[in-house]
A = this chain, B = another copy of it.
Amino acid sequence: MTEPKTMTPKTMTMVEAINKALHDAMEADPKVLVLGEEVGDKEGGGVMGVTAGLSTKFGTDRVKSTPITEQAIIGAAIGASIGGYRPVAEIMLMNFIAVPMDMIVNHAAKLRFMSGGQTSVPIVIRTMTGTGFQTGGQHSDYLEAWFAHTAGIKVVAPSCPDDGYGLMRSAIEDNDPVLFIENLPTYWNPGPVSGQHVPIGKARIAREGTDVTIVAHSLMVHRAAAAAEELAKEGISVEIIDLRTISPWDKEGVLASCAKTGRALVVHEAVRQFGIGAEIASTIGDELWGTMKAPVKRLGGAFSAVPFSKPLEDAFAPQPADIAATVKLLMG
């Protein structure tokens, strides 16, 4: 895991941090391109403003708003990357990633291997998701597990602006395709941004503790933190590992924390069944066999589509209270 940042940071929201990363990356390397629906300033610089200012500054040749055409968006990104560019393609919401799935999984992720290393696909696919705005079954899903299960593509999901900036810079410079997952409900949460690159594949200790390790990413890091605050009042010391990179995940970092605490809970917003928590939990169970003090637990979204109605939506994903209750269970 990486060392804590030492520079004097600025305060930014996630939207601003990613926007700045895109600006800085386009400035640093003329091969960096941006494409997607509404990404140009004429269309508002992205529905949430994440790409604001880019087309004005770098021109509409490098920053292209597209029709609604997800297969062609990813195809264009793949082709341009094989042709020497570094496109950052936006798929507006994560559910829509099902539309260009063939392009991502059968092509972007595989071309390097299938060509024996002759071609590479250094693209970033930005996408947004998350429950919380009552957008229902087709606009809220976390689908990181599909891509973590796919060799040849990396998956990152920052929980704070600093990592949003740093992971975006690293993702763009990475020579392989990276899926970059942004959480909508925390887009406007401010946080310090150091302007440093964050290495892909390294988790972050979001909170130090000694009794239980919680492994989380994206929004769930915040929910885990809220739970940890409550638990601290009861004398339970929680360590939170923010995965940041889901694939390849930081096995060493996670195992080190679990070895220290002896108890582990993996939390994600995606449906629990066959979610990424299973890989992490079974790896902990295997590698730390005989040393854990309690079974490795998992929390995740309900086994259903994301519901519209507020009380149902709130019940869908793990809440701080659920997390706290499971930690207490682990404490026995």
* A interface with B by C-beta (< 8 Å): 95-96, 98-99, 101-102, 104-106, 109-110, 113-114, 136-138, 145-146, 148-152, 247, 270-271, 273-279, 281-283, 285-287, 289-290, 294-298, 302-305, 307
Contacts and interface: CB of A to CB of B under 8 A. Distances in A.
B305 A110 contact: yes
- Helix, strand, loop or mixed for chain A's interface? mixed
A102 B106 contact: no
B305 A152 contact: yes
Contacts of A105: 98
Given A98-B102, A98-B105, A247-B273, 7 more contacts: A101-B101, A110-B305, A145-B145, A148-B274, A151-B303, A273-B279, A285-B295
23 contacts: A95-B106, A96-B102, A98-B104, A98-B105, A101-B102, A110-B138, A113-B307, A114-B305, A145-B149, A146-B149, A148-B273, A148-B274, A149-B271, A150-B271, A152-B304, A247-B273, A273-B279, A278-B278, A278-B283, A281-B286, A282-B285, A286-B298, A289-B295
A110 B297 CA distance: 27
B95 A98 contact: no
A275 B96 CA distance: 22
B275 A286 contact: no
A204 to B, nearest CB: 21
For the complex of A and B, the 5 pairs showing the least CB-CB separation, nearest first, are A278-B278, A289-B295, A285-B285, A281-B282, A101-B101
